[in-house]
Chain A
């Protein structure tokens, strides 16, 4: 792996992220860095804060305190202990560097597969349909769904929908891809095709942050694994060491249950 850890290659940096939902503190001070080309897997029991961490990165959730840098620019910074967000346009631009894939796919049901891919580049980047259509078609070929380009999402299987969702995110040419339990809503026999697409992305050195329950994916495709529990990062390391010899007892207990 050409995993150079130079300062300018830090794509994402979270510092002391704290977040509460009412009385419940879901993130208790998360520190996290992701470098260019790195595939980071975040695992942990449900309610550990792993999805919330991901959703704070692209502002689907707002944080209470701490700071987030995206490619060296502040999405939110800490001023006198309070979190201060960048102006809306700047914040939208920074969040736009990241593509997101959801557990529930969230395709636009009233648009065909191709229209799903073309919508944001046309609306947001003001590209013409003629410019974006070949790009979108290439992406659909890449995820193996070119033949379905004129179908509506409801006609596709869950696995196909999720591959379209990945292609839709890629159509915006993101620098970073975020995956929020991308296979959790799928039947077991459909997870393979989605994981294969994700492995191919990883092989192209896409920077990826993947919240997942798929231990095999974390072990084989990730460069680094983070284990979260109760709003904290309990342990992290390279997958070989992490899965073979976890240090913390909570990690050991969790992995024992998963395997």
Chain B
């Protein structure tokens, strides 16, 4: 019993790193993804193409490779980042690309009539996007964003390769030390708890944004 408590406390310590990486990535990648999606649909050819290239690279290579690149390759050209900053950079750039594609699909699913109504009322493109299109888009993309967010919780475990003591690495260390599988179960419970909270939050958000549906 005492040993279990010790395991839980150790893993709790590790989950601080996990949560930090998760929350900061989310807070940075969502707005960045929105900006990228707006650039993609802006009609500015060069900008749109550039974003397409960025998304292709981020989605076309493993997140693990991107992590290793930021961590090992950037110092070679003189850019030295702390462990957590390196992880945050790779995660944010990667997730922003996925979020951008979800936002873009959401924006493009809004009926042309909404743009036309706003235009005939004299609204500018910026006003139309900010007041009419994006609020409706957010409602529609909540389910896929929820999915991606839950993926992010689990992807945080990839930072074990940077030798950072996140939730899973702490658990594995104890398993290897004691030859006891319990820490893995404790880790699983921690992940499940986090995704449970996220699922609940997104359910509330969907209900909130769904109040105007028939």
Contact = CB atoms under 8 A, between A and B. Distances in A.
Contacts of A19: none
Contact of A152 (B111, B121, B212): B212
Interface string B125-156: 00100011001100100000000000000000
Nearest to A59: B119
Interface in A65-112: 92-93, 95-96, 98-100, 102, 104, 106-111
B116 interface: yes
Nearest to B214: A154
B211 A102 contact: no
Interface residues of B, number: 23
Contacts of A98: 120
Given A60-B120, A124-B122, A110 B127 contact: no
Given A119-B131, A154-B213, A102 B123 contact: no
A110 B139 contact: yes
B113 interface: yes
B211 A172 contact: no
A109 B110 CA distance: 11
Contacts of A111: 212
A60 B119 contact: yes
B134 to A, nearest CB: 10
Interface string A144-157: 00000000111100
Contacts of A102: 113, 116-117
B135 A110 contact: yes
A95 B123 CA distance: 11
Contacts of A120: 118, 121-123
A249 interface: no
A169 interface: yes
B114 to A, nearest CB: 6
B42 interface: no
Given A108-B114, A152-B211, A58 B120 contact: yes
Contact of A123 (B120, B123, B136): B123
A36 interface: no
A153 B127 CA distance: 21
Main secondary structure of the interface of B (DSSP, over half): helix
A18 interface: no
A152 B135 CA distance: 15
A168 interface: yes
B124 A106 contact: no
B116 A123 contact: no
A104 B122 contact: no
Contact of A106 (B116, B135, B136, B139): B116
A124 B127 contact: yes
Contacts of A124: 121-123, 127
Contact of A172 (B114, B121, B136, B209): B121
Contacts of B124: 92
A154 B116 CA distance: 19
A106 B117 contact: yes
B124 to A, nearest CB: 7
A123 B117 CA distance: 14
Contacts of A172: 121-122
Contacts of B120: 58, 60, 95, 98-100, 169
Interface in A110-139: 110-111, 119-120, 123-124
A154 B212 contact: yes
A192 B209 CA distance: 34
Nearest to A109: B212
Given A106-B113, A110-B212, A96 B122 contact: yes
Contacts of B131: 119, 123
Chain A CB count within 10 A is highest, among B121, B124, B209, B211, for B121
Contacts of A96: 121-122
9 contacts: A100-B120, A102-B117, A104-B111, A108-B117, A108-B136, A109-B136, A152-B211, A152-B212, A154-B212
